[in-house]
Amino acid sequence: MAKLNFEVQGLVVQYGGVKAVDGVSFSLKPGEIRGLIGPNGAGKSTVIDAITGRRLPSAGIVRLKGEEVTRLGVFERRKRGVSRSFQRTSIFAGMRVWDQVELAAAKLGLADAARDATEVLEELDLMPVAGLVAGELGYGEQRRLDLALALVGRPGILLLDEPMAGLTVPESMELASHLKKLASGRDVSVLLVEHDMEVVFGISHSITVLELGRVLAEGEPDRVRANPRVREAYLGSAA
């Protein structure tokens, strides 16, 4: 991990008069996985929405590979490499796995959409089921397909909002191991919002803890876990 790949500086997002995100900053290097954690309502999903362009911030800067993307629309950011996984909502249940990944690549205007689709499916161990319609896949495979759709076009940052929700322990472990491999193999930065603390602390290189829209703590997992303020506000004594 070397230079900075992605950064958010002084992000503020308001819902009416309420600041849901209030001056949040962090950065990621290529291949870095950063866990974004905090109690319900802390502002995690709102940070992701502001990064992807779903919601415009009232202040702050979002920058990918040195280029500011703060005011761009969702699709413009996706083309530049800001990608989000939607759990299963982006999957077409009646369409073949390979066809939909190739379609996603073609929509981005990639020169060789078929090759990109094949590469992503191979990396996620989905080639054996590439000819099936997505509705026939198991739940864990559907999550990986959703990840495949987010990974076409080699994004610079991948935003994941609770990717483990609803998965069994073995399925979570499998997805976590894929995420680790993908981040380092593709040099993609990953911002991971996840309630499963074992997964977050197990695969993240760094962690940001939010509370009431502000950064409560930030740093390497062990240091964050040992931080008394974090334990008190969020993790509890069991962590």
Ligand X SMILES: Nc1ncnc2c1ncn2[C@@H]1O[C@H](COP(=O)(O)OP(=O)(O)OP(=O)(O)O)[C@@H](O)[C@H]1O
For binding to ligand X (CB under 6 A), which residues are involved? Answer: 15, 20, 38, 40-46
* 129 in Cβ contact with 97 (< 8 Å): yes
- Reading the block at residue 67, the tokens are 């280029």
* Burial of 116 per CB tally in 10 Å (0-12, 13-18, 19+): buried
Q: How far is the CB of 66 from ligand X (least distance, A)?
A: 27
Minimum CB distance to ligand X smaller for 41 or for 128? 41
Minimum CB distance to ligand X smaller for 44 or for 186? 44
Tell me the residue type at 127: M
Query: The sheet that has 67-68: what strands, in order across it?
Result: 18-28, 6-15, 59-64, 67-68
| Alpha carbon of residue 237 to chain centroid | 28
* 128 in Cβ contact with 97 (< 8 Å): no
Minimum CB distance to ligand X smaller for 119 or for 161? 161
Q: How far is the CB of 233 from ligand X (least distance, A)?
A: 13
Q: How far is the CB of 165 from ligand X (least distance, A)?
A: 10
Query: For residues 101 and 105, what is the distance between their CA atoms, to the nearest angstrom?
Result: 6
Q: How far is the CB of 44 from ligand X (least distance, A)?
A: 4
Q: How far is the CB of 148 from ligand X (least distance, A)?
A: 24
Minimum CB distance to ligand X smaller for 42 or for 179? 42
Q: How far is the CB of 159 from ligand X (least distance, A)?
A: 12
Smallest CA-to-CA distance from 213 within 33, 50, 31 is with: 50
Minimum CB distance to ligand X smaller for 19 or for 78? 19
Minimum CB distance to ligand X smaller for 162 or for 187? 162
Q: How far is the CB of 194 from ligand X (least distance, A)?
A: 10
Phi, psi values for residue 154, rounded to 5°:
50, 65
Smallest CA-to-CA distance from 158 within 82, 107, 104, 87 is with: 82
Minimum CB distance to ligand X smaller for 15 or for 139? 15
In sequence order, what DSSP letters do the residues of 11-50 get, joined into one string?
EEEEETTEEEEEEEEEEE-TT-EEEEE-STTSSHHHHHHH
Give the strand pairing for 6-15 and 18-28: antiparallel
